[in-house]
Amino acid sequence: MKNKNLILVTICIAIVLLGVSFVLMNQEAFDNTLIATGLKKSKPMLADADPYMKKLLQEIPVQKVLPKKKKNPREIWKVGRGISYPNYLLKAQRHLEKHGGKVLSMEEVESRNGSVVNFDFVAPFGDTFYVQLQVADSFYNSTSRLAVAFYASKELSGFADELNGLNFPYSLLITPSEISSFKAGLKKLNQYESVVWLPMEDKKLRSKSFSKSMIFIHQSQSEIQDIVTDALEKVPHAQGIATRFGSRAVEQQALLHAIFNPLQERNLWFMDLTKNRYSRAEDVCEDIHLKCRTESPFDPSRMTHAVYVSRVLKTARRSGKAILILPISNASFKAIENLEADATAQGTEFVSLSNIFQTE
């Protein structure tokens, strides 16, 4: 009898040991079973533990990831000061949708330490994340971008030292028919980005000095394309075209198509400076997938240089990128004396004008 009991005990011990060894060898599967049955809570997964999530964090970009706490069931993503929450969320949404993820909800709420954003989404690999975006105390380097451009003019030669002394890239808006008058000034410059400053028919101005190089609404498609092609040949290495005058021209969809075709062939971009709310430029650009922006250059009749520079820096902080467009003058260079320091202090980096047009 005792032998039988001993055998049974031995068998039981063997079964237990086999079970324990099985569990140890298949710990992950066993844990998943306990989690599925509710007998064990799952460990919180940090976003940066997954390869895709690491890429998402870099794209936004996120400075630091903090795990969930008892008082806050959301994972905290610290983002740098310098641009607004909508800009961060837009980058996240684009990245998620591009890779098969899905945004569930976005909500900005007020807290004791300022506003935060609750961001819920499904990652491409199927897991749902409940995240809270919080602005960090420090600025994130290169969080926003700023491009600087000047109108090229006859005064260019007298400001070669000021332009060469800039510690950031800049662009020159050049009218093809005027280039001969400041070619000597261009040769004095170390490096700059060329942009065609193209005269176009305006509601207020009808200048005879641009009669041969200006685009008018009565011209045929071939005539317009010839003017654009000639302009690009006269301004070597031009990266795009910006409007000079043109408040009437930008309302004409057919005219814009004629201008944009040569740009599309050369992979160039278009910048509308008319400030005309009835402009069709962005609509046509979207139709043909041309890189296009609407910008507001400095207007001395509306504000001072200092106010304009301050507003552009603020735009960079809020939207993530901005363009500063000034005439070449003593007042302009006086206004940007502290531009480099102010931009750096708010986490804004200087880039070329073409960089602003790059697809996010």
More confident residue, 78 or 295: 295
Q: Is the pLDDT of residue 41 over 70?
A: no
* 58-104 pLDDT per residue, tens: 888 888 888 887 777 889 998 887 677 888 898 899 999 999 999 99
Rg over alpha carbons for the chain, rounded to the nearest Å, is 30
What's residue 19's pLDDT? Answer: 57
Q: Is the pLDDT of residue 160 over 70?
A: yes
Are 173 and 298 spatial neighbours (Cβ–Cβ below 8 Å)?
Answer: no
* 340-350 pLDDT per residue, tens: 999 988 888 89
Which structure tokens are listed for 220?
């045929």
* 104-149 pLDDT per residue, tens: 999 988 877 678 999 999 999 888 999 999 887 655 555 688 999 9
Q: How confident is the model at residue 196 (pLDDT cuts 50, 70, 90)?
A: very high
More confident residue, 71 or 305: 305
Which structure tokens are listed for 358?
């790059």
Sign (positive or negative) of CA dihedral 293, 298, 303, 307: positive
Kindly report whether the global pTM for this prediction surpasses the value 0.85. no
Distances (CA, A) of 212 to 125, 151, 154, 224: 60, 20, 20, 11
Q: Is the pLDDT of residue 159 over 90?
A: yes
In 3D space, the residue among 67, 61, 14, 15 whose CA is nearest the CA of residue 43 turns out to be 67
Q: Give the H or E element holding residue 111.
A: strand 102-111
